[in-house]
Chains A and B, each alone.
Chain A
Amino acid sequence: MPDQNLTGTRSTAPVAEVAQAEAGPPPGKPRSLWSDAWSDLRRKPSFLIAGAMILVLIIIAAFPSLFTSASPREADLQGAFLRSPELTKFFSPEWFGYDSQGRSVYARVIYGTRASIVIGVSVTVIVLFLGSLVGMIAGYFGGWVDAVVSRIVDTFMGIPFLLGAMVILVSFDVRGKLVITLALAVLGWTTIARVMRGSVISVKQADYVQAARSLGAGTWRILLRHVLPNAMAPVIVVAMVALGGYISAEATLSYLGIGLADPAMSWGSDINTGKDQIRVALHVLIFPSIMLSGTILAFLMMGDAVRDALDPKLR
């Protein structure tokens, strides 16, 4: 049995601790849920690969001239008509071969990036803002506001996305990036609005929202400090996945000839021109297609990784 001398510091410690009854230190530093998610993401290969790809795409879109010395519009019909790619000449104009007008496919792929990225990102930003606002109002206020807004959303949802975009676009003579962006945004915001509405409805019943109400907090304070930050996560995930969809929609429209057209450059319109020579010069079709799929894949992967990181069930 223990010697009383053994008691030492151990036996006196509890008395002092009684006041700080439960002050056992939570481990580590202050960590918000976002920073938790970030530290999760940093260790995820799929996120790192997708992130690197997206970063490169953004740099290409911003500074295409850094990646190629050739001009995408310079045509050399005599010397370069449908010349085959020289796959060992990295980053040179002849890397991906030439198209039927003697233009460097590599240069066109590089310069076409901007259209996809700009349209994809701007549609997402508009849709995120508009959809979140509408969804938040419908979800938080409920009642007849929700009933009216939800019916409007349903109406828009009933329009097939691509068909609707085509109908809108054919009514314009000049179809630039802005017009395409707006057309896609007008049809796309409903998805975000729906997700946001559902998310807000579940968050507004949370006890911390009740707690804020019982403190006397005003509507805007509750919406911006309590509801929105907690309802955001699923919306961000959906938006990231949708971004890939918008890029693909732009390419589809351009391929069909009602999106961007010469002289504007887009992977979709290049795929369109490439399809005519599919038997003799597959490379004109294949390289813009690879870029397009790769870009969409990168955004989908990113959305997936973020979804996992934000999933509260894994916390």
Chain B
Amino acid sequence: MTETGIDLVKDETPATPGTPLLEVRDLQVEFHTREGVAKAVNGVSYSVEAGETLAVLGESGSGKSVTAQAIMGILDMPPGRIAGGEILFQGQDLLAMTEAQRRKIRGNKIAMIFQDALSSLNPVLSVGYQLGEMFRVHKGASRKEAKARAVELMDRVRIPAAKDRVNDYPHQFSGGMRQRIMIAMALALEPDLIIADEPTTALDVTVQAQVMDLLAELQQEYRMGLILITHDLGVVADVADRIAVMYAGRIVERGDVREIYRTPAHPYTKGLLDSIPRLDQKGSDLYAIRGLPPTLTSLPAGCSFSPRCDRAREICVTERPLPVTVLDAEGAPVPGRSSACHFWKETLHG
């Protein structure tokens, strides 16, 4: 229980003056399943500043998307349940708000982009109508005004011939174009924070590059905070400023993207980076992390990664490692960098 206390004292960087745009503190989300209570998110803390991109990296079941759903307030409850923690948006706790208050923030201040644009858009309404709806509902714009704003937005995300296509339906657009419409929708009310959950996973490589570029550019322009949830190490390296690596509902490592890629301080991060083949070099055997992620209903007592870890010792099985600030070669703390591993030093340096 004291974990957060320690975590925050040791880990939060004093480098940021004032309150961050969004701060998640010790969030816990449970799911009630046939096999028992699954701890999908188990004490996650992270923060995002305006104009910054935080990548939350993790595999399926790591809790990265559940955290995002909790922030958006779109978690299915039940079976889900927020068992503890705080989500501070511009200093206010979202979890303490009424549904009416949250609805004002959702879409208006925090917007989300989903992986599957086709199923996120209503197939029986035209794209222009759906984009315009944002203005009608939140800003009380007239029909005509709303349509004009919709065309403007479509231009903004570089949909060719926006004026002619505003009355088209979602299925008439290609996958890449639909994802642009999703981005336009998220941008409509100029939110302060965008959460993108695997925004390019369903897209082809060449289209993925277009969409990612667009997103990064618009983010800079509007100085929004961006939480990028993904499993793709390449995408993270391309756009993120900081990353948080999640495993089995916990953040195992976080810090500056360059530092983590260069010198990972957690065996899981290191294993992930070693296990992807490189486009620019032909390796021999791939390093493979052995075994499987644990079942969330029966997490190991110690470090969740210990059954798959080459470095695991007895202490890893018995004692759960808390996130500690990583020190550089001279022994000075690296701001914003932490690792939840008993042997982070060995991982970092050897």
Contact = CB atoms under 8 A, between A and B. Distances in A.
User: Do A and B interact directly, with beta carbons closer than 8 Å?
Assistant: yes
Interface of A: 1-2, 6-8, 10-11, 14, 17-18, 21-22, 24, 27, 40
Contact of A14 (B34, B310, B342): B310
Nearest to B35: A27
A18 B315 contact: no
B279 interface: no
Interface stretch (B13-21, B48-56, B125-133, B285-293): B285-293
Contact of B313 (A6, A17, A18): A6
Contacts of A17: 290-291
10 contacts: A2-B342, A7-B314, A11-B313, A14-B312, A17-B291, A21-B291, A22-B291, A22-B292, A24-B291, A40-B34
A40 B33 CA distance: 12
B290 A22 contact: yes
A22 B292 CA distance: 6
B295 A6 contact: no
Closest 4 CB pairs of A and B: A24-B292, A6-B314, A2-B313, A7-B313
Contact of B314 (A8, A14, A18, A40): A8
Contact of A21 (B290, B312, B314): B290
A41 to B, nearest CB: 13
A21 B288 CA distance: 9
A10 B343 CA distance: 15
Contacts of A1: 345
A10 B292 contact: no
Interface in B314-350: 314-317, 342-343, 345
B312 A11 contact: yes
A22 B343 CA distance: 24
Interface residues of B, number: 17
Contacts of A27: 35, 295
Contacts of A22: 290-292
B313 A10 contact: yes
Contacts of B35: 27
A24 B308 CA distance: 10
A7 B309 CA distance: 13
Contacts of A11: 312-313
A85 B130 CA distance: 65
A10 B290 contact: no
A6 B345 CA distance: 18
Nearest to A24: B292
A14 B290 contact: yes
Contacts of A10: 312-314, 316-317
A193 to B, nearest CB: 29
A177 to B, nearest CB: 43
Nearest to A17: B290
Contacts of B343: 2
Nearest to B317: A10
Nearest to A5: B314
A246 B153 CA distance: 57
